[in-house]
Amino acid sequence: MKLLNIIYNGLVRENPTFVLLLGMCPTLGTTGSAITGMSMGLATMAVLICSNMSVSAVRRIVPAAVRIPVYIVLIATFVSALQMLMAAYLPALNATLGIFIPLIVVNCILLGRAEAFASRNGVIASAADGIGIGLGFTVALTLLGACREFLGTGKVFGFEIYPETYGSLIFVLAPGAFIVLGLLMAVFKHFSTR
């Protein structure tokens, strides 16, 4: 039951996008479509789970004075492995996400969860936290990407809902990311406080 509460916490109470407002660079930069938003969320979630488990496993042997550099090296290791796997097996997606994959290293969600949760809890609880926060981030990016894609091009996950000529270009561009994010945050806040 405790593990489910940790996961629920990451999805709703501490949602990194809609509540904590963390990781805004990939949130705004990779959500031009539902598939790129979901892909970025899943990539971040994979690194988050692995880094949380690693930080939790070494938390008692790492001196407090060097804990942050150790956390960053662990995160960078998993991001490098992820980028190599994506380049080998998903080259088109790797090209689409571009610089945002290496930037996972400096995403404040990962270092924040390493410091706030994984360094104080066991490996299993830290994995659950990574799943919860990662799912919250993935759902938020997918939803944001789907809304922007729908409003801008009339498609969702590439499936045409209405002709693209009726779409509004602003939602595909950067200002649309801010507009849709603000609206989704308001809706999330409305339903999460009820």
CB-side neighbour CA atoms (13 Å) of 120: 6
Backbone angles phi, psi at 160, to 5 degrees: -75, 125
SS (H, E, C) 90-134: CHHHHHHHHHHCHHHHHCHHHHHHHHHHHCCCCHHHHHHHHHHHH
- pLDDT per position in the chain (194 positions), as tens? 688 888 998 988 899 999 988 889 888 888 989 999 999 999 999 999 999 999 999 999 999 899 999 999 999 999 999 999 999 999 999 999 989 999 999 889 999 999 999 999 999 999 999 999 999 999 999 999 999 999 999 999 989 999 988 989 899 998 999 999 999 999 999 988 77
**Residue 180 placed within a domain:** no
Closest C-alpha to 190, from 27, 9, 12 = 12
Number of domains in the chain: 1
**Residue 9 placed within a domain:** yes
**Residue 151 placed within a domain:** no
**Residue 179 placed within a domain:** no
Per-residue CA distances from 100 to 3, 6, 152 (Å):
30, 27, 22
**Residue 17 placed within a domain:** yes
Domain hosting residue 75, numbered range: 2-143
**Residue 28 placed within a domain:** yes
**Residue 7 placed within a domain:** yes
What's the predicted TM-score (pTM) here? Answer: 0.93
CB-side neighbour CA atoms (13 Å) of 54: 18
